[in-house]
Structure 1
Amino acid sequence: MTRRPHRTHLPEERPESTAPLPPPELTEAECRRCGTYIAGLDGRYACGVCGWVNDHSEGHRRLPRADEDPDRPPKGRRRPKQLPWPPPGLSEGPPYPC
């Protein structure tokens, strides 16, 4: 069987943003649902006690665009295939007696 030739993937040049993003500011508040003292970034909060989350639009500054994310994967990269769940054999129970 002959292998099909693949093109080499070179990193794409991404134009840098005109201005660097400022670092996020650590902010603190009380949870609106349970009153727990919580901390967040730029006015965006999530309570670990009751699960309350404020809307992203309530933040102090705009969220960065995807092209401003330095950890964004290169264009054209596909998501990994999801494995079927549950894996074959697990639905039958454990392989040993309990």
Structure 2
Amino acid sequence: MPTPHDLPFTRTTCSGCGAIVEGLNNRFSCTVCGWVNRWDDSTSPLPSAEDDPDYPGSKKR
């Protein structure tokens, strides 16, 4: 399990309102105006539904 220091935090300017936003792997959402960038703007693929510990039938619990 990665620690917070291992996670790839990134920072940019919100395209909606200009606020500074931070995210993981270039995935951003702005808490000021609600802007989010496209899922495919990231530098890494999204995890699959099966990777989610809450996914029905998951054995990762």
1:62 corresponding residue in structure 2 = 45
Q: Residue deviations 1:39-94, cap 9 Å, x none?
A: 0111011111111111111111001112222x23442xxxxxxxxxxxxxxxxxxx
Give the alignment's TM-score, normalised by structure 2: 0.72
Counterpart of 1:72 in structure 2 is 54
- The structure whose Rg is larger is 1
Spell out structure 1 runs of 4+ moving beyond 4 A: none
Q: Distance in 2 between matches of 1:66 and 1:47?
A: 24
- Pick aligned residue for 1:43 from 26, 29, 32: 26
Identity of aligned residues (%): 37
- Structure with more contact order per residue of length (Cα contacts < 8 Å, sep ≥ 6): 2
Specify the SS of the correspondent of 1:57: helix
The TM-score with structure 1 as length reference comes to 0.47
Unaligned runs of 5+ in 2: 1-5
**Counterpart pick for 1:25 among 2, 5, 8:** 8
User: Which runs of structure 2 are paired with 1:82-97 in the superposition (5 Å)?
Assistant: none
